[in-house]
């Protein structure tokens, strides 16, 4: 099984109005620099964002014998000594009866050890029997902020069914293995880098561009793959043993591509005999998972 980001939402209408108005303010600030076509495209995206039309059935109370997964792109966490955004995430998990949260782009550096401690302490405080798997690269930044990454959070009765957990050394995914009545289930929260150039429009390298971070670590390990090639190759190699022992596989995340044709994730799906469960269940892939302002 393989899927893109979840379409469930817990924001109120007021929250969407506030965020979309903020995006309009940004657009207004840029008007003097953008062409008419670019402005029209941005405003069309904002109108679509405001609709917030869910796809599929509305989220209802879950049954006691089921596990609810919730996948979300966090676009960076703000963490302080009181927990910061992590406390809100835990509240949201309880509100939506989420057993396991699969999050991409937490944007924090676990090499600042207090970050991991605060995140785990907050999870233990807000939820019973919690487990956190936080993936960030081996690069250490001066501040706790760092591009991309992945995180999984489990709690409650589901925590007792997790037999193993871990993270990828390059920060591309975190994982948990769950015992079920039919065997093991490998659950992956993954982030695949966008297919962009390693240089900006002026030919300059960006020090904090996540793709460059991946590229430099691959070079250190004497690997000539692009970050996207390495992601697919390594993910397949990581999951093949699980498939051979009979485990089911669930991959959710932000893949920066549409799951079709010759996309990179189709290569992963073919190698591991996976299908797009959102397409199977909902009959469509045409929905947005993230608002971007270029």
Contact 252, 4 (CB under 8 A): yes
Residues 29 and 169 in one domain: no
Residues 47 and 75 in one domain: no
Q: Is the pLDDT of residue 59 over 50?
A: yes
- Of 56-60, 117-121, 268-272, the one with minimum mean pLDDT is 56-60
> What is the structure's pLDDT at 208?
44
Residues 40 and 145 in one domain: no
CA distance 94 to 88: 10
Quote the pTM value: 0.76
The domain of 156 spans 68-282
Check residues 12 and 160 and name the one with the higher pLDDT. Answer: 160
> Which of 90-94, 110-114, 210-214 reaches the highest mean pLDDT?
90-94
Residue 63 lies in a domain: no
| pLDDT bucket at 282, cuts 50 / 70 / 90 | confident
Residues 152 and 27 in one domain: no
What string of DSSP letters covers 150-212?
EEEEE-GGGGGGEEEEEE-TTSSEEEEEEEETTEEEEEEEEEPPPS--SB-TTSPBPTT-HHH
Residues 210 and 180 in one domain: yes
- Of 28-37, 53-62, 71-80, 219-228, the one with minimum mean pLDDT is 28-37
In this structure, what CATH number is given to the domain that contains residue 261?
A: 3.60.10.10
CA distance 179 to 161: 5
Burial class (CB in 10 A: 0-12, 13-18, 19+), 267: middle
- Of 22-31, 109-118, 252-261, the one with minimum mean pLDDT is 22-31
| pLDDT bucket at 144, cuts 50 / 70 / 90 | confident
Expressed in angstroms, the distance from the first to the final Cα of the chain is 30
> What is the structure's pLDDT at 1?
52
- Of 98-102, 115-119, 137-141, 149-153, the one with minimum mean pLDDT is 137-141
Q: What's the token pair of residue 251?
A: 């991959």
Q: What's the token pair of residue 52?
A: 């917030």
Over residues 213-228, the mean pLDDT reads 86
Q: What's the token pair of residue 150?
A: 């992945």
- CB-based contacts of 187, cutoff 8 Å, min separation 6: 69, 100, 102, 152, 175, 176, 177, 178, 250, 252
Residues 255 and 228 in one domain: yes
Residue 191 lies in a domain: yes
Burial class (CB in 10 A: 0-12, 13-18, 19+), 123: buried
Residue 133 lies in a domain: yes
Residue 98 lies in a domain: yes
Check residues 8 and 66 and name the one with the higher pLDDT. Answer: 66
What string of DSSP letters covers 223-237?
----HHHHHHHHHHH
CA distance 1 to 5: 13
Domain count, the chain: 2
| pLDDT bucket at 53, cuts 50 / 70 / 90 | low
Residue 243 lies in a domain: yes
């Amino acid at each position: 099984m393989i899927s893109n980001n979840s379409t469930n939402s817990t924001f109120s209408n007021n929250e969407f109005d506030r965020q979309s108005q903020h995006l309009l303010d940004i657009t207004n600030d840029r008007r003097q620099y953008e062409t008419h076509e670019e402005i029209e495209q941005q405003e069309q995206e904002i109108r679509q964002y405001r609709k917030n039309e869910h796809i599929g059935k509305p989220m209802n109370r879950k049954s006691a014998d089921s596990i609810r997964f919730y996948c979300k792109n966090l676009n960076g966490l703000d963490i302080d000594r009181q927990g910061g955004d992590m406390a809100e995430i835990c509240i949201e998990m309880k509100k939506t009866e989420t057993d396991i949260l699969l999050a991409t782009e937490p944007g924090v550096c676990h090499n600042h050890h207090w970050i991991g401690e605060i995140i785990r302490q907050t999870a233990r405080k807000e939820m019973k029997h919690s487990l956190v798997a936080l993936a960030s690269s081996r690069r250490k930044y001066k501040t706790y902020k760092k591009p991309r990454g992945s995180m999984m959070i489990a709690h409650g009765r589901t925590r007792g069914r997790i037999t193993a957990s871990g993270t990828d050394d390059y920060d591309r995914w975190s994982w948990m293995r769950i015992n079920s009545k039919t065997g093991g289930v490998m659950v992956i929260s993954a982030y695949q880098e966008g297919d962009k150039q390693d240089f900006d429009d002026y030919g300059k390298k960006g020090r904090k561009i996540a793709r460059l971070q991946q590229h430099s670590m691959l070079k250190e390990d004497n690997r000539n793959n692009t970050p996207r090639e390495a992601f697919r190759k390594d993910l397949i190699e990581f999951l093949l043993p699980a498939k051979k022992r009979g485990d089911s596989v669930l991959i959710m995340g932000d893949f920066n591509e549409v799951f079709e044709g010759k996309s990179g994730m189709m290569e992963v799906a073919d190698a591991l005999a996976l299908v797009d469960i959102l397409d199977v269940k909902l009959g469509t892939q045409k929905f947005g998972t993230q608002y971007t302002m270029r």
